[in-house]
């Protein structure tokens, strides 16, 4: 009876969590698409992302008809369709409306990967890891598919944090505390006040670097500590990404990674419950 | 559990396993890259192990009547604003420049000077396009660009050239 009741609660909550993940991811896609629309000159024939040039990085040697979508008005139309559809991710819950929007956003994300082999960042990557599985889950018309996708998204987010933490742990620049003041000293990802504060205090800088390393590398373990543990680490995560957005200008990262947090809480509760029932 | 859900679980499991393998460096699992044209396999090393501590600059100068002019900045065009935490469209162009430097660094025999071979590389052609579109070129004039790097806001490093072009007549 307990198992049955738990299954009912899980199925009901997975729907809400799934909606939150999709909505937050939609925010990231909306901002990113607006930013690309504000810089469409980059994609023009004289721009640095002109398709004539960028095609050299395309994985397909022979020409395809879909390349028509990569130039001129067609490309602008793709971006506008992506923008409209991504608003649908925030507005619609009914599958008949949400599924077409998800399909447009997921397909346009794949097209953008081909169109922009340079100039994309980790938030675009995380959006793809959310959007494609979520679209497939909606096409399955099954609540269990949504649960599988939520666990997948939580696992990918945990992988992202732990890999990034491990890469920092093996780096002498990070361990010595020099990395953050140096990164924050750049024009692209920097902040004058934060850079000065960290440069003037090596101890503070070392604490900041090690805090990032420990937060990232310990991330997956907190998920096994139950809902309180995962809520604690996710609160730290929100502060971390907010700081990255304010100090480094990583605005889309904030939304893309925040989108994984409902899935992480869900997975943490799910794992805890499964361990409890079978333990 | 329907066949659809079982297939989805299978796909997601394989996707996750390949994503984990991809974290162990592209050299060790080089075979995965060509099989992933849509870049579905992530690589999460954000600013590590070697964080990017340089800003990249694209400068150009024109030569008319045999005399080269002064260097002008083509990119970046402006500093990051405080609003960049909400709205940051300039990051695209900055990221393109830093990705181009990574592509240059990835060549087996990095082109150090402006020999003829480097002119056929994608980073060279993109930088030339950016330099040309930065400002109109007077009739009969030639344009040269330099891709350079410099440490950021606090230290006062000099610009260090990475790629220097010939003078081009458009």
For residue B38, give the nearest of A110, A121, A156 by CB distance.
Answer: A110
pLDDT at site B102: 83
Q: Provide the CA A96 distance to its chain's centre, in angstroms.
A: 25
Contact B151, A187 (CB under 8 A): no
Distances, alpha carbon B71 to alpha carbons A77, B60, B67, B68, B157, in Å: 38, 5, 13, 9, 17
Q: Could you tell me the end-to-end alpha-carbon distance of chain B, in angstroms, rounded to an integer?
A: 64
CB contact under 8 A, B45 and A167: yes
pLDDT at A264 over 70: yes
At a CB cut-off of 8 Å and minimum separation 6, what does A155 contact? A267, B16
CB contact under 8 A, B12 and A53: no
For residue A187, give the nearest of B49, B129, B153 by CB distance.
Answer: B153
Q: Which of residues 107-136 of B touch A (CB under 8 A)?
A: 122, 125-126, 129-130, 132-133
pLDDT at B78 over 80: no
ipTM exceeding 0.85? yes
Paired residues of B58 in beta bridges: B75, B147
The reported pTM is 0.92
Averaged pLDDT for residues B149-165? 82
Distances, alpha carbon B137 to alpha carbons B52, B61, B132, B140, in Å: 33, 10, 7, 8
Q: Does B34 touch chain A (CB under 8 A)?
A: yes
pLDDT at site B154: 63
In terms of C-beta distances under 8 Å and separation of at least 24 residues, what long-range contacts does B77-86 make, across chains too?
B79/A187, B80/A187, B80/A188, B80/A190, B80/A249, B84/A249, B84/A251, B85/A245, B85/A246, B85/A249, B85/A251, B85/A254, B86/A31, B86/A245, B86/A251
Among A41, A46, A167, most B C-beta atoms within 10 A, so best to mutate, is A167
Please state which of the ranges A18-22, B47-51, B86-90, B155-159 shows the lowest mean pLDDT: B155-159
Averaged pLDDT for residues B73-83? 81
Count of A–B CB contacts within 8 Å?
A: 200
- Listed in sequence order, the DSSP H helices in B30-82 are none
Averaged pLDDT for residues B19-44? 77
pLDDT at A203 over 70: yes
Kindly report, residue by residue over A74-129, the tens digit of the pLDDT. 999 999 999 999 999 999 989 899 999 999 999 999 999 999 988 999 999 999 99
CB contact under 8 A, A192 and B151: no
Kindly report, residue by residue over B84-106, the tens digit of the pLDDT. 999 999 999 888 888 888 888 77
Kindly report, residue by residue over A158-172, the tens digit of the pLDDT. 999 999 999 999 999
Averaged pLDDT for residues A54-78? 87
CB contact under 8 A, A249 and B89: no
- Listed in sequence order, the DSSP H helices in B108-153 are 122-134
Q: If you average pLDDT over every residue of chain A, what do you get?
A: 92
Please state which of the ranges A49-53, A60-64, A214-218, B99-103 shows the lowest mean pLDDT: A60-64
Q: Which of residues 38-57 of B touch A (CB under 8 A)?
A: 38-40, 42, 44-55
pLDDT at site A91: 95
């Amino acid at each position: 009876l307990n198992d049955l009741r738990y299954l009912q609660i899980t199925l009901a909550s997975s729907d809400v969590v799934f909606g939150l993940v999709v909505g937050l991811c939609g925010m990231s896609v909306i901002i990113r698409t607006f930013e690309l629309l504000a810089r469409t000159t980059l994609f023009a024939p004289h721009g640095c992302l002109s398709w004539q040039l960028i095609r050299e990085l395309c994985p397909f040697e022979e020409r395809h008809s879909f390349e028509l979508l990569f130039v001129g008005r067609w490309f602008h139309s793709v971006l506008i369709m992506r923008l409209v559809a991504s608003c649908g991710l925030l507005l619609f819950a009914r599958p008949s409306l949400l599924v077409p929007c998800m399909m447009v956003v997921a397909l346009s994300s794949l097209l953008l990967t081909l169109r922009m082999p340079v100039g994309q960042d980790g938030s675009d990557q995380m959006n793809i890891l959310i959007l494609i599985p979520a679209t497939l889950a909606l096409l399955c018309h099954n609540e269990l598919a949504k649960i599988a996708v939520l666990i997948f998204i939580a696992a990918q987010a945990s992988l992202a944090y732990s890999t990034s933490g491990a890469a920092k742990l093996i780096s002498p620049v990070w361990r010595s505390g020099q990395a953050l003041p140096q990164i924050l000293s750049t024009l692209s990802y920097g902040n004058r006040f934060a850079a000065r504060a960290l440069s003037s205090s090596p101890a503070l800088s070392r604490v900041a670097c090690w805090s990032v390393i420990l937060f990232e590398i310990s991330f997956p373990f907190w998920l096994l500590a139950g809902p309180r543990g995962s809520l604690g680490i996710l609160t730290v995560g929100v502060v971390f990404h907010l700081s990255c957005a304010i100090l480094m200008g990583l605005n889309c990262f904030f939304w893309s990674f925040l989108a994984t947090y409902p899935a992480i809480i869900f997975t943490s509760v799910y794992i805890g419950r499964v361990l409890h029932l079978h333990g | 559990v329907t066949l659809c859900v079982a297939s989805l679980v299978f796909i997601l499991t394989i996707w996750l396993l390949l994503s984990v393998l991809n974290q162990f460096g592209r050299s060790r699992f080089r075979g995965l890259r060509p099989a992933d044209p849509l870049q579905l396999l992530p690589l999460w090393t954000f600013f590590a192990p070697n964080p990017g501590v340089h800003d990249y600059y694209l400068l150009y100068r024109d030569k008319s009547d045999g005399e080269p002019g002064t260097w002008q900045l083509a990119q970046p065009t402006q500093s990051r604003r405080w609003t960049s935490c909400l709205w940051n469209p300039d990051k695209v162009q900055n990221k393109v420049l830093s990705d181009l430097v990574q592509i240059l660094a990835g060549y087996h025999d990095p082109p150090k000077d402006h020999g003829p071979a480097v002119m056929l590389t994608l980073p060279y052609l993109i930088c030339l396009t950016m330099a040309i579109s930065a400002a109109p070129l007077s009739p009969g004039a030639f344009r040269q660009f330099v891709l350079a790097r410099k440490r950021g806001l606090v230290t006062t490093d000099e610009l260090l050239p990475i790629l220097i072009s010939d003078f081009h007549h458009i």
